[in-house]
Chains A and B, each alone.
Chain A
Amino acid sequence: MEFHLIVPMKYVPDIEKVKFDTKTGRIDRSSAPGETNPFDLNALETAVQIKEKLGGTITVISMGPPQAEFCLRDALSRGADRAILLSDVKFAGADTLATSYTLACAIKKIGYFDLIICGEKTVDGDTGQVGPELAEHLGIPHVAYVSELREVSKDKIFVVCDMEDAYYLVEVRLPALITVTKDINTPRLPSLKAKLRARKAEIEIWSAEDLSGIGDVSRFGISGSPTSVYKVAFPEIGKKGCKILKGESAVEEIIGVLEKEGFL
């Protein structure tokens, strides 16, 4: 069978523009245009490079609101062949366990795959949990924080992963899952032609109903999420009261601080 790569991608708010209501603790997702989670573009680029070597197809999959179609179209213009959007109110409010479970059900429905490539984490959830959890649901090995792909063949890959103290070379049997850091590559920009083609491409939309034969519907969305956020606070930015120093005396004052705090 031809080599099949799957890249799960998330539609996230632009973190520099998104507004937070500091009183209610709400995140106003409509305040900023969404974008593809930046690390997932590294994941997709990794898949495209593998496809260039081995041939095969790339399926991108995203669970999110209808607007997430944007990131799937973008992925199609960057070299993905098939796009699936998991969109249903029943998927909403999912934590990482429910998200990974839902993605696992969708991947089982897709059927055959060789390698799943996730981003290292998302800029909103920021957990890095969905990848390894997905691998566990599917019963396949995974390697997290992959910063280099050394070798790929049809039945195994050699990767370098960036751990706390060192980089390790790891051999992984396929099918498997890896999560990649931004250091693995620089995502290429899509061509205008590819963008136009992607605009007209079909995006499959799957609902909870479509996955009901495969998994337990009660494990989707809020009902399948053991963790819940019950309060949100905002880091006290600007409340620290920065002492601004200017002019000639600034250096002297800083030296004084360093001395007082025992750094000199």
Chain B
Amino acid sequence: MRKHSDVVVFAEYHEDHFHPITFELLSKGREIADLLKTKLIGVLIGYNVKDKASELFHYGAQKVVVFDDKRLALFDVILYKHLLVNFLKKEKPELVLMGATRLGRSLAPRVAAALNTGLTADCIDIQVDAKGDIIQVRPAFTGNIIAYIKTRTRPVMATVRYRVFKAKKLNRYGKGEIVVKSVRLPENTGIKVLRKERAKRIRISDAEVIVACGRGLKRREDIEMIEELARLLGGIVGASRPLVDEGWISRDHQVGFSGNVVRPRLYIACGISGSPQHLAGMRNSKIIIAINIDPSAPIFKVADYGIVGDLYEIIPKLIEEIKRRRKTCG
């Protein structure tokens, strides 16, 4: 019998493009494959995706297995699972990485249960220890703890959080083997993805700069002030949950445990206390600036810079000062 060996990355291709997590997974997968002295294989599922496969070579894949069929154009979890499970049963990899995107977090558990193997959710690191064991690192308890997890079954499966690993183009690779598999699909899966209802206007998880507001804001109209600062910094507006629950701003802007996990280069928290649920969504931002009237607000514990003061005084001053500079420079 074949031993479990390779590292497999699920390439998330949806609505005509790769989700950028795909390249991050490949780059991490490449590192691990090197440590384990094994191959890195990408699996690509979709419609009209054959000629996209070669993109994956630039990030270290040595082989890409493609399933291409009209019925795979939209995400039907049963069809995707069916193909992945059959492939993984034959391939017997050591490790399978998928994005901790909503698609990945819907698909991976079904695959894991079908293979009767362990799955670790939302990893922020994957390591290989001295014994060659794979260690999965993830937050739990709403971000209050970081758990180090081992899996005793094979394949080891993990979903990985977006934007924790860097996508690295490698000159060493760039070419490889593309295997287009014939597709045999179950007839009726019970699921029909009828249509896209509406696209999201913003994707806050992609943002490099976020200016976020919380209950320190007194009126709905005051979000305009936050928007203005965000615009000046080339960023987008984030919000704590209460503002979303109040209907002041749409849920696509919500940062936190029940909203979006973000990792911008700059996060400015205005009038946000810093509950565990909020921190769970933003604590790994690169630079955190907090503006809060209460010096004991927990947000200051994760901030790099804290301004103790009234946001209604500070934000207009910031806006004014940035505008003044732009004028004199421009």
Contacts and interface: CB of A to CB of B under 8 A. Distances in A.
Interface of A: 13, 15-16, 18, 20, 25, 27, 39, 95-97, 100-101, 120, 123-137, 140-145, 158, 160-173, 176, 181-183, 225-235, 237-238, 240, 242-246, 250-255, 257-258, 261, 263-264
Given A125-B140, A170-B191, A232 B146 contact: yes
A244 B142 contact: no
A117 B308 CA distance: 44
Contacts of B143: 235
A80 B112 CA distance: 31
- Ranked nearest first, the 10 interchain pairs of A and B with the lowest CB-CB distance are A226-B118, A141-B190, A136-B113, A127-B121, A227-B118, A173-B190, A144-B106, A226-B153, A132-B109, A231-B148
A233 B148 CA distance: 8
A128 to B, nearest CB: 5
B242 interface: no
Contact of A164 (B103, B113, B193, B317): B103
Contacts of A170: 191-194
Contacts of A163: 75, 102-103
Contact of B197 (A167, A176, A251): A167
A227 B191 contact: no
A257 B268 CA distance: 12
B327 interface: no
B54 interface: no
A102 to B, nearest CB: 12
B102 A230 contact: no
Given A20-B144, A136-B113, A234-B145, A97 B105 contact: no
B166 to A, nearest CB: 18
Given A145-B102, A255-B322, 20 more contacts: A15-B144, A25-B145, A27-B141, A96-B119, A126-B139, A126-B141, A133-B110, A136-B114, A142-B106, A158-B194, A160-B197, A164-B102, A166-B198, A169-B196, A226-B152, A232-B148, A244-B307, A245-B306, A251-B321, A257-B289
Interface of B: 14-15, 19, 74-75, 77-78, 81, 101-103, 105-110, 112-114, 116-122, 136, 139-153, 188-200, 203, 205, 209, 233-234, 251, 257-258, 265-266, 275-277, 283, 287, 289-290, 295, 300-309, 314, 317-318, 321-322, 325
B191 A16 contact: no
B190 A172 contact: yes
Contact of B121 (A126, A137, A231): A126
Contact of B302 (A181, A240, A253): A240
Given A251-B317, A258-B233, A145 B106 contact: yes
A254 B303 CA distance: 13
Nearest to B12: A164
